[in-house]
Amino acid sequence: MAEQATTDRRATRNEQLLRDLLARIGRGDERALLEMHRLVARRIFAFALNRLHDRDEAMSVANNTLYEIWRQSQRFDGSCQFMTWALGIARNKMLHAFRDRPAEYDELDETHADAAPGAFETLAGKELRESLLVAMDRLSPDHREVLHLTYFEELSVAEVAAIQLCPVGTVKTRLHHARRRMRELVDPSGAPRRRGVAGATDLHAAPQS
């Protein structure tokens, strides 16, 4: 309980810091823009790289997203977390990057599935992290994205739905499919599987909304 309270306080402080920086950016404070870049550029780049698999494109998305954060700073209304808003902008930039690419998206059964995120380290342990990252590269773009947002960014189902512009039920379905596929790709020792066998890695977590 005490550890969770400390984590919550830290998250609240970080959120307030980002909102304060955004307000200063809206007033033309260039130093605030540099500090914002320091705090969020790598997270946006990692999010874009996970989907695009191209470092140059991912860097372009990160830069364009930060430009839009600067340009639209006064449009943030505080109704969601700052990173939910920022990653939503980044996702829109990524969709533009996909315009000249062939479609890669899987058809999904959009039925409701009981699934939701928890901290990535809690899910699998640090010893599995490398193998899980390799396995994630074998997922569809939507499935990679939903895992990245939930387990690396630790966003709630509702926040992921806001970024992916889809119903909460769709996010839960994507999590269900993605986690099932990850269990097929990685065994409990952390070694990638040559052939998928379901039930290998426990990726179940308590729902967040």
Distance of CA 83 to the CA centre of its chain: 10
What does the pLDDT average to over 17-33?
93
| pLDDT greater at residue 149 or residue 98 | 149
- Enumerate residues 6+ apart whose C-beta is below 8 A from 82: 15, 18, 19, 22, 76
CATH of domain 2-97: 1.10.1740.10
Tell me which range, 76-85, 99-108, 121-130, 200-209, is most confidently predicted by mean pLDDT. Answer: 76-85
Do residues 51 and 141 touch, judged by C-beta distance below 8 A? yes
What does the pLDDT average to over 85-105?
75
- Enumerate residues 6+ apart whose C-beta is below 8 A from 116: 150, 156, 157, 172, 175, 205, 206, 207, 208, 209
Domain segments of the chain: what residues?
A: 2-97, 120-185
For the stretch 65-81, pLDDT in tens is 999 999 999 889 888 88
Neighbours of 119 (CB within 10 A): 12
Q: Beta-strand (E) ranges in 83-177? A: none
CATH architecture of 120-185: Orthogonal Bundle (1.10)
pTM here is 0.59
For residue 39, the SS3 value is helix
For the stretch 46-66, pLDDT in tens is 988 888 888 888 899 999 999
pLDDT at res. 37: 93
Cα-based distances in Å from 120 to 66, 124, 127, 169: 26, 7, 12, 21
- Per CATH, 2-97 and 120-185 having the same topology is answered no
What does the pLDDT average to over 3-32?
86
41 pLDDT above the threshold of 90: yes
